[in-house]
Chains A and B, each alone.
Chain A
Amino acid sequence: MKNDLTKIVISGEGGQGIQTIAKVLAESFKDSGFYVSYIPQFGPEQRGAPSISFIQYSTKEIKYPRFYKADYLIVLRERAIPATTTFINSKTKVIFDSSTIRSNIIKQSENKKEAVPATKIAYELFGEKNLNLVILGYLTKYFSLNKNDVWKIISRNLKKKFAKNDKLEDEAKKAFFYGYEIVAEKKIFSKPTFKTEKRIIYTKNDKREAIISPELCKGCGICIEKCPVGALKFSDEIGVYGNRIPEIDIDKCIACGNCFRFCPDCAIKVNKKK
């Protein structure tokens, strides 16, 4: 192994599981006999704010956990890019999520970029919460760690979450091992299909009309909870935080206005036609 210090920055949105990835990676480096330092950078405790974690591993002792230029930068959301551009220098290798980020936004030469369409994979195969495990699987292979050892650390870290729901562990395990097998995209990247579209979803019948704005919806689910007739349910459309947004069954709807009254982000409205 090299004697050098290796510096890794992992960044994304708060709520994506960035700190879980970083913690598991740090513990696996420690178990493979390296000196490791891991420090998270927290902003306000808020969903959607950029979340960054700093990892270093080395065969020698590490003196200080912060650094200013990274050897590897992992970016999972477009919103986190402004906060991480300062860590890029000419040698930095960038791994990004090509299903949510356009490759030309990242200012780094083409041969230093790699991409995994992790959000797409997680949505289509395992459910959106497993995004971080897909990435973690990929990184396990990237840093040539033993996948079974890493999985043990994951199940130790997520024990509480797995205890609530049995299905969760199976899905997580599948997502992790799928991530391990992924071959990254190089130079030719897939298009960011999992981005919020600037449009308004307009549904109508002869009595009423409904408007939903994916640009504003954060997917809290309050409208679905508060609908008295169950006319709303989650659809496959993507909202502003990479969440699922509700769709309306306009024939069931009674235009009571509850969804409009409770929506925190002014993303839905139903009108009666006169």
Chain B
Amino acid sequence: MTKTIDKNFSMPKCFNERSKPSLYCPGCGQSIFLKHLGFIIDDLEIQGKTTLGIDIGCSLLAWNFFNFDIVQTHHGRSVPVAVGYKLSNKRRIVMSIMGDGGGYAIGLQSLLHAAFRNNPISVFVLNNTGYSMTGGQMAPTSIPGEITTTSPSGKDPKNSGKAFHGPELIKQISDNSAYIARASVSNPIMLQKMIKKTLENQIKNNSFSFLEVLTPCPTNWKTTASESFNFLSKMEKEFPIGEMTKNEK
């Protein structure tokens, strides 16, 4: 039996087919996240009015990933660019994707003030506990005891601090209507639901929404598929998954 199968058989419709196979390493968690983001954009039918700001780091490899507008920004500055874009054109749905280096190290003040002002954008920070594009150096998000290229004997919490918890920090200053959550690639169904809520909060409530995603980096962790997911479950103990709710007085 012959059957013609679309080349696009398992991709979201908003993917740029010509850029595939993508530039990401084998087993990269970011491309799993982008795939589910693509499915949600298809689901909400917002491909025509979406703008995505990308950062320096592995997130810039998404520059031709989708068939919608993508803005390449300076390191850590994809949030201010997204905020400016949203202010000038309120009907667009503006997203920003960063790594943990861009979001929590160099671009933290931009992120905090966007959350403080309650700017209606969706921010995704992909946390893989290291600076991956430059060779896996220690980052604020590295978990205590983690071996990286700049901490060969394991991260020492005395000198380098504990792991940086972004959503917990942003929760303290954000508005009550903001949506703040943490998801993991190890649970794609929950990830999809949280991505959907992050985008819907921007569209319906017109307020800041933030999602941290825990992603594996097999190239710099030097792990196989099963070891990556073991390390990811170790990360999930350090960074609890779920939605952050504000304490109501």
Contact = CB atoms under 8 A, between A and B. Distances in A.
A200 B11 CA distance: 14
Nearest to B22: A265
Contacts of A264: 24, 26-29, 31-32, 35
Given A200-B9, A264-B35, A265-B21, A45 B135 contact: yes
A115 to B, nearest CB: 26
Contacts of B9: 200, 211, 213, 269
B5 A211 contact: yes
B29 A44 contact: no
A222 B220 contact: no
A45 B133 contact: yes
Interface string A243-271: 10000000000000000111111111100
B27 A218 contact: yes
A265 B24 CA distance: 9
Interface in B71-97: none
Contacts of B7: 200, 213
Contacts of B228: 222
Given A45-B219, A222-B225, A216 B133 contact: no
A209 B151 CA distance: 47
A47 B7 CA distance: 24
Interface residues of B, number: 36
A225 B185 CA distance: 14
Contacts of B134: 44-45
A222 B224 CA distance: 9
B5 A44 contact: no
Interface in B28-47: 28-29, 31-32, 35
Given A45-B135, A47-B219, A262-B32, A219 B5 contact: no
A47 B31 CA distance: 14
Interface in A199-254: 200, 202, 211, 213, 215-216, 218-222, 224-226, 240-241, 243
Contacts of B249: none
Given A216-B20, A240-B21, A265-B31, A46 B133 contact: yes
B5 A202 contact: yes
Contact of B225 (A44, A200, A225): A225
A224 B3 CA distance: 26
Contacts of B189: 261
Contact of A211 (B10, B15, B25, B32): B10
Contacts of A47: 25-26, 219
B197 to A, nearest CB: 18
Contacts of B35: 263-264, 266
B218 interface: yes
B219 A266 contact: no
Interface in B218-232: 218-220, 224-226, 228-229
A219 B26 contact: yes
A221 B223 CA distance: 11
A48 interface: yes
Contacts of B188: 261-262
Contacts of B244: none
B132 interface: yes
B240 to A, nearest CB: 22
B26 A220 contact: yes
Nearest to A47: B25
A220 B136 contact: no
A211 to B, nearest CB: 5
Interface of A: 15, 44-49, 200, 202, 211, 213, 215-216, 218-222, 224-226, 240-241, 243, 260-269
Given A45-B135, A264-B29, A266-B11, 18 more contacts: A45-B132, A45-B136, A45-B220, A47-B26, A49-B23, A200-B7, A211-B5, A211-B9, A216-B20, A216-B21, A218-B25, A218-B27, A226-B229, A241-B26, A264-B31, A265-B22, A265-B31, A268-B10
Interface of B: 3, 5, 7, 9-11, 15, 20-29, 31-32, 35, 58, 132-136, 188-189, 218-220, 224-226, 228-229
- List of 6 A-B pairs having minimum Cβ-Cβ separation, nearest first: A220-B27, A218-B26, A220-B26, A264-B31, A221-B225, A269-B10
